[in-house]
Structure 1
Amino acid sequence: MTSAEEPTPRALFAGSSSRWIRLLPWAVAFVLCVALLPTTIEVLRNDYGLNAGVASALAVAQTAPLLLAVVHPLRAWCVIFPADVAGALLLLTVDFPAERLWPFPPMEIVGYVGLCLALGLRLPRRTLLSVWLATAAANVGLVFFAPHGTTATSVLLTILGGVAILLSAALRERHEVQRRLVEQETISEAERARRTVLEERARIARELHDVVAHHMSVITVQANTAAYRLDGVTPGMREELTSIAATARESLGEMRRLLSVLRSEETPGELEPQPDLARIAQLVDAMERAGVPVEFTPSDAAVPEAVGLSAYRIVQEALANVVRHAPGAPTRVSLSADDAVLTVLVVNGPPPEPPAAPVEEGGTGHGLVGMRERVRLVGGELDTGPLADGGFRVMARLPVTETENDSEGTA
């Protein structure tokens, strides 16, 4: 058993966020040193009759290392424990009164119990067991040299030292378990958020495949039939159209191979067209049938299919959140567009009185993560947050024209 077994050369409670808790071990060690050092010298010299120099040396060895115990408790024990045993043996060389405690005076017991508390807070179980067994063995051995018959202080030091070690070790392990639980919860939440992002991106990729595949199929058909539908097609033009059709078919095949990686057996492909702005009215009707009063302001603006799909999914998730967290709350869905931006606004008020029990308590915020992925897809902006009256607002601004940043937003 060596001091190298100590896990970390850091002060006890050094990882605490509270400054007072970090200073607590130093304060306790300082108080014990200041109180026990002069007391030990006086008791050993006056009550037991030891030489003043010997008493002072023993007192320093038995109390000063308590300050070291804040950082290196095992090293402190390697000094204090031999000093306590040596003090008991030195007391056998003087004729002290029978009513005095032996082998360990009260102040030595106090200092040793304080040291055991520091040991339990730092050392592993095996080392703690070795320390306690060494203490018990020394106490049992000293009993055979008792100058005035059997004494109970050996048993007292063994019991109190063991209790101090058990209590502090239990406190340390409880704190360690709680710390690990917090770390695991943090990791699990981060993993859930990451998984949600990946699932949403895979879903977006599948939906975009359906959108783009439709356009690529149209290009292929038009390029293949152009020579038969149009007059005056030269051989060069026919060759060019054939090349365009072949390139479109090749691109479509590459997209399908990519999609086979994203799809799984549990995620069958959609066989119907992807939803757009026109389908949002159906969402609103479904919400009203479910008991959620919704005021809907539609827009007949022509937007790209990717933008319409993203707007539909954002409204779908926002309305689902209303049902989950504020059932029955009045809700307003508004779509407005100009030449550059489609604005999607979903605002719900506070739940009615008395409020209905929400479908879900709290929430993970993963629905908002999916919305952000949708907005990033088209290079837009998302603004969400609670309102002063207890409601919630979701506003997305989606560009309806091609910009240089669009590709960066979807990277």
Structure 2
Amino acid sequence: MMRTGAVSAVKTSAKLGRGRWPAVIAALVMLILYAVAWPTLQLTHDVPAPLMPLVAGFAVFPFVLVLSRPALGWAVTALAALVIPLVFDRIGYYTYPWQVVHILVILSLVLAVAVLEEIRVVLVVWIATVLLFFLYMPGDDGWGWTVGLTALIVFGLLVRWLVISRRQLAKEEEVSELERARRAVLEEKARIARDLHDIVAHHMSMVVVQAQSAPYRLTDVSDDVRAEFDSLGATARDALNEVRSLLGVLRSDGYTPENEPQPGIERIGELIAASQRAGVRVTANITGDPVGVSDGVGLAVYRILQESLTNSARHAPGAAVDVRIEFGLGTIEMDVNNGRGTESAPAIVPSDRGGGSGIRGMGERATAVGGRLVAHPRPDGGFEVHAVLPTVVAV
């Protein structure tokens, strides 16, 4: 953590140093301090007039580095603080070793070092400055300055860590926002893939079933017509496999209930009738009152039934399918059972490229509305789908 803060401080220092207006302001303040230090130097130290601008500049000019390279600025002004009391005598009534302006420059650079430089540099500057003040300040003032300098360093470190923590928080919020956007995209892709699977796969499967069962359902079918039906079924299967391969790319584990208008329980009759027209022997027993069923649950019921009928037609062609839906008080119970497929129509072998997402999609839909779903083979070779859903989406 300390190393991370040091790196962040170095980057902050470089950024501030490259800024135009901060550098202009630092230079302007430095000129004001120099304008004060030069004429007042004769009041504090015995310095020859020709050397006064040089001595004042030696003490004050390092302030211009306060935002870009404060450690270097501190080193120069600290060297001036070390040399000036040794070379030039003080005026009799003046007890401090440096001008007040010089002291302000030292304190400003110490604070900048605490905020912007690495921790080990801050430690060196603190120790060196404390020793400098402790040795040169008159009487017992060195102890007071030691406490004051320590408090200044602590304050600078607090400011530094506050800035770093706010910057890290802003970065984490940005990452979280990007993650939320990424998840939203994945969830939208999952929704699109699920709807395409439920709609396209269902109707394409009906086309395949009709094409392959037509020679067995219709009488006096010539060989040419039979070949045409076989070609149609093969083409539809290839198209279905390509669609499932594409959906495998779109799918993800995210799922959000759809808000757009979608089919619901009012279209269950149409779904069963469409399957019957396609040659699936479906019998339906729907009981209870569907009043109060939410749109999300109605969509889940429709899609689960649609996928169940599609799977029955694809994997057990010619088998009877029994659909039972009971709208109870607060719950909806649904069973879809089919027997073993007959041998009069060739079985459609499912493609592995689709990823087998149909049953998993049904389970996800049931879970999304607060229900549960079980799908498993029956002992007689058939298949059963059993779902229990609430009438409204569970919160």
TM-score range, shorter chain: 0.5 to 0.7
> What CA distance in whole angstroms lies between the structure 2 residues aligned with 1:101 and 1:163?
24
Whether the aligned pair in 2 keeps the contact of 1:65 and 1:80 (CA below 8 Å) is yes
Match of 2:229 among 229, 241, 257: 241
> What CA distance in whole angstroms lies between the structure 2 residues aligned with 1:250 and 1:155?
89
Which of structures 1 and 2 has the larger relative contact order (alpha carbons within 8 angstroms, sep 6+)?
2
> What CA distance in whole angstroms lies between the structure 1 residues aligned with 2:252 and 2:115?
52
Match of 2:46 among 41, 45, 49: 49
Relative to structure 1, is the Cα distance of residues 81 and 68 closer, same or farther in structure 2, using a 3 angstrom cutoff? same
Relative to structure 1, is the Cα distance of residues 57 and 157 closer, same or farther in structure 2, using a 3 angstrom cutoff? farther
Match of 1:107 among 90, 101, 126: 101
Residue equivalent to 1:126: 120
Match of 2:14 among 9, 16, 31: 9
Whether the aligned pair in 2 keeps the contact of 1:112 and 1:161 (CA below 8 Å) is no
Whether the aligned pair in 2 keeps the contact of 1:104 and 1:153 (CA below 8 Å) is no
Match of 1:223 among 206, 211, 221: 211
Residue equivalent to 2:57: 60
User: Which deviations, in whole Å up to 9, do the C-alpha atoms of 1:101-138 show, x marking residues without a partner?
Assistant: 24333222112112223223321222111111122233
Instruction: Note the 1:95-174 alignment, pairs <5 A.
Output: 96-97=91-92, 99-140=93-134, 142-143=135-136, 150-174=138-162
- CA drift at 1:62: 1.0
- CA drift at 1:89: 1.5
> What is the letter of the counterpart of residue 123 of structure 2?
L
> What CA distance in whole angstroms lies between the structure 1 residues aligned with 2:209 and 2:178?
46
> What CA distance in whole angstroms lies between the structure 2 residues aligned with 1:12 and 1:38?
24
Mean CA deviation greater in 57-66 or 188-197: 188-197
> What CA distance in whole angstroms lies between the structure 2 residues aligned with 1:158 and 1:105?
18
1:214 aligns with 2:219: no
Relative to structure 1, is the Cα distance of residues 172 and 38 closer, same or farther in structure 2, using a 3 angstrom cutoff? same
User: Which deviations, in whole Å up to 9, do the C-alpha atoms of 1:235-292 show, x marking residues without a partner?
Assistant: 333223213223333444565576678376x98xxxxxx8259469x9995579xxxx
> What CA distance in whole angstroms lies between the structure 1 residues aligned with 2:182 and 2:291?
30
Relative to structure 1, is the Cα distance of residues 102 and 151 closer, same or farther in structure 2, using a 3 angstrom cutoff? farther
Identical counterparts, % of pairs? 32
User: Which deviations, in whole Å up to 9, do the C-alpha atoms of 1:210-254 show, x marking residues without a partner?
Assistant: 211221221112211233444664433322321322333344456
Match of 1:175 among 144, 155, 163: 163
Other structure's SS at 1:50 match: coil
Whether the aligned pair in 1 keeps the contact of 2:186 and 2:252 (CA below 8 Å) is no
> What is the letter of the counterpart of residue 122 of structure 1?
L
- CA drift at 1:60: 0.3
> What is the letter of the counterpart of residue 80 of structure 1?
T
Whether the aligned pair in 1 keeps the contact of 2:110 and 2:126 (CA below 8 Å) is no
Aligned residues: 260
Residue equivalent to 2:28: 30
Whether the aligned pair in 1 keeps the contact of 2:71 and 2:109 (CA below 8 Å) is no
> What CA distance in whole angstroms lies between the structure 1 residues aligned with 2:235 and 2:61?
85
Whether the aligned pair in 1 keeps the contact of 2:34 and 2:60 (CA below 8 Å) is yes
> What CA distance in whole angstroms lies between the structure 1 residues aligned with 2:252 and 2:104?
69
Whether the aligned pair in 2 keeps the contact of 1:41 and 1:52 (CA below 8 Å) is no
Other structure's SS at 1:151 match: coil
> What CA distance in whole angstroms lies between the structure 2 residues aligned with 1:168 and 1:194?
39
Residue equivalent to 2:343: none
Whether the aligned pair in 2 keeps the contact of 1:132 and 1:158 (CA below 8 Å) is no
- CA drift at 1:57: 1.6
* Structure 2, unpaired ranges of 5+: 1-8, 256-261, 269-288, 296-305, 307-395
Whether the aligned pair in 1 keeps the contact of 2:26 and 2:66 (CA below 8 Å) is no
- CA drift at 1:86: 0.9
Instruction: Note the 1:85-100 alignment, pairs <5 A.
Output: 85-91=82-88, 94=89, 96-97=91-92, 99-100=93-94
Whether the aligned pair in 2 keeps the contact of 1:63 and 1:111 (CA below 8 Å) is yes
Whether the aligned pair in 1 keeps the contact of 2:22 and 2:67 (CA below 8 Å) is no
> What CA distance in whole angstroms lies between the structure 1 residues aligned with 2:230 and 2:144?
99
